[in-house]
Amino acid sequence: MIATIVGTGLIGGSLAISLKEKGVANWIIGVDQNADNLQKAQELKIIDEGATLQDAMQRSQLIILAIPVDALLQILPAVLDKAGPEHVIMDVGSTKQQILQLVAGHPNRGRFVAAHPMAGTEYSGPEAAIKNLFTQKTMVLCDVKNSDEDALEVIENMVDKLQMRLVYMNAEEHDLHTAYVSHISHITSFALALTVLEKEKEQGRIFELASGGFESTVRLAKSSPDMWVPIFKHNRHNVLDVLDEHIHQLQQMKQLLEKEDYETFYKLIQKSNKIRKILK
Amino acid sequence: MIATIVGTGLIGGSLAISLKEKGVANWIIGVDQNADNLQKAQELKIIDEGATLQDAMQRSQLIILAIPVDALLQILPAVLDKAGPEHVIMDVGSTKQQILQLVAGHPNRGRFVAAHPMAGTEYSGPEAAIKNLFTQKTMVLCDVKNSDEDALEVIENMVDKLQMRLVYMNAEEHDLHTAYVSHISHITSFALALTVLEKEKEQGRIFELASGGFESTVRLAKSSPDMWVPIFKHNRHNVLDVLDEHIHQLQQMKQLLEKEDYETFYKLIQKSNKIRKILK
């Protein structure tokens, strides 16, 4: 199968590597409006050739859109306009409601499978693409009842070959749960980096003292605003809701410290320790 | 050299393993008020024998106190009372001002070296002890001018053999900087776990969807309240100060989302990205 990857960054590039390696596709066409990235992806042998979207669509069956969710809103309708019954189109966006509302009435909606691989790193661009990024990770497929059966089969087969776990959700559930388990983590990490950069004027001290704990809570703050601002924009309502709760929890801790109520503070930490049971 | 480790948990146990392996000590006596932990530490061959503190002090040169900072306030003065010129006493506490104020006038203050290894994991107890926890990590020594030269030399030699980086600070600086690069990370992680446990009633969904990003921001929430409540208590002033700033940063993000001012939000994320230059 010939596959096209639109957006040859961390996710698109890592998918390209895996599709080839796991025998899902034998030829990968890359499409990227950033000519530098396209060239790098080719130099790194992540893609076999670069092409325009129109040219790529004429020659490939599987088209994966691995671009920020705001760009997806622009491009998906145009891709569906050109799609025929031989095409399967998949996205990898972190938000789903807006994009699915946008294409709900499109005559070729059935060729589209809305997907979100729960995998990534804080880095971006084709140099960040890595092998096995998706192995043993979860792939969420949304509103699959609106995808044609044969298109869904192509994607389910791909997910299986990539050795991913498959989870089905509707778009509304997806956006709610990802706000809790992904989007809020990025907000807290960005805010923590800003806090420390603001308070810690002696940056050499951060370098000397930062240990694993600090690094792991703040590493997501290296993530690209090009990807994340559109996510927060699309999932604004859910993100605000969980952010409100998070600020409330921090204020509660602050008040307990102010009052020196260490007994209640102890109980709160014990309660938070319950996350042990849920995290692998 | 015979060394005594008081507190055979994550840090004490890992130190015991390293002291033996790197040839700093050839016999390790464990002291622990928790008899189960002491037995486990012996079964795991982390320590060579268990003993009472009094017995252990009579036979060892190096005594390392690896216990929560509140217990340290109780035990350090008693240990110094019994210390002779043959003893070197070191702690590993995460806060320094209170403990150093407490023993400032003690006649045997010189035998004590105040230390804080910037290393750890979210786990606790002797089973959590691991090899090479300290390799390439930073050891902070505080107010070393108040330690006897020969005692300091023993510790500096140990730090060198453990292949750690050495940093000197006064207690005030130490408590300020660790609030920024360690204590606040734990507060945010506890609060994030509480937020998600509060909002996400379908805990199976966390399990399915949680990826590396969520895990890394929330893993510190597995940490023990026995260790952390005393740290927040001892460093209350600095922790409140940095927590205030962190809440302020989150509120700013919330307001930008409410106003849909994505341009300023983008700039904030770009600013937080500067953490890339500081983190290794």
Q: Where are the domains of chain A?
A: 2-169, 174-278
- Chain A nearest CA to B26, separation (Å): 29
The predicted model gives A242-251 an average pLDDT of 97
Which residues pair with residue B165 across a beta bridge? B138
Residue A202 has pLDDT above 90, yes or no: no
User: From CA B80, how far away is CA B99, in angstroms rounded?
Assistant: 12
> What pLDDT was estimated at residue A203?
72
Interchain pair A121, B212: CB under 8 A: yes
Residue B213: what pLDDT?
A: 86
> Under an 8 A CB cutoff, do A273 and B218 touch?
no
A118 touches chain B (CB under 8 A): yes
β-sheet bridge partners, residue A62: A3, A88
H or E segment and range at residue A258: helix A236-259
Closest CA to B273 of A223, A124, A213: A223
Listing DSSP states for chain B in one string gives: -EEEEES-SHHHHHHHHHHHHTTS-SEEEEE-S-HHHHHHHHHTTSSSEE--HHHHHHH-SEEEE-S-HHHHHHHHHHHHHH--TT-EEEE--S--HHHHHHTTT-TTGGGEEEEEES---S--SGGG--TTSSTT-EEEEE-GGGS-HHHHHHHHHHHHHTT-EEEEE-HHHHHHHHIIIIIHHHHHHHHHHHHHHHH---HHHHHHH--HHHHHHHGGGGS-HHHHHHHHHHTHHHHHHHHHHHHHHHHHHHHHHHHT-HHHHHHHHHHHTTHHHH--
Beta carbon pairs, A and B, within 8 Å: 310
pLDDT at B211: 81
Closest by CA position to B265, among listed A239, A152, A143? A239
Give the pLDDT of residue A201. Answer: 76
Mean pLDDT value across chain A: 95
CATH class belonging to A174-278: mainly alpha
- CATH number of the A2-169 domain: 3.40.50.720
**Mean pLDDT, to the nearest integer, of A168-184?**
94
| Residue B278 confidence (pLDDT) | 82
Is the minimum CB–CB distance between A216 and chain B shorter than 8 Å?
A: yes
> What does the block give as tokens for A124?
């971006």
B35 and chain A in contact, CB less than 8 A: no
Does residue A75 sit at the B interface (CB-CB below 8 Å)? no
Give the rounded distance of the alpha carbon of B245 from its chain centre: 23
Can you give the pLDDT of all 280 residues of chain B as single tens digits?
Answer: 999 999 999 999 999 999 999 999 999 999 999 999 999 999 999 999 999 999 999 999 999 999 999 999 999 999 999 999 999 999 999 999 999 999 999 999 999 999 999 998 889 999 999 999 999 999 999 999 999 999 999 999 999 999 999 999 999 999 999 999 999 999 999 999 999 998 877 777 887 888 888 999 999 999 999 999 999 999 999 999 999 999 999 999 999 999 999 999 999 999 999 998 887 6
Token pair of A116, please?
Answer: 């979100």
β-pair type (A112-117, A138-142): antiparallel
Phi-psi category of B60—alpha, beta or left, where left has phi over 0 and alpha has psi -120 to 50?
A: beta
Question: How far apart are the CA of B37 and the nearest CA of chain A, in angstroms?
Answer: 20
ipTM score of complex = 0.91
Do the domains B174-278 and B2-169 match in fold? no
| pLDDT value at residue B84 | 96
Indicate the DSSP class of residue A109: G
Nearest CB among A138, A188, A242 relative to B199 is that of A242
**Amino acid, single-letter form, for residue B213:** G
Over residues A82-132, the pLDDT tens digits come to: 999 999 999 999 999 999 999 999 999 999 999 999 998 889 999 999 999
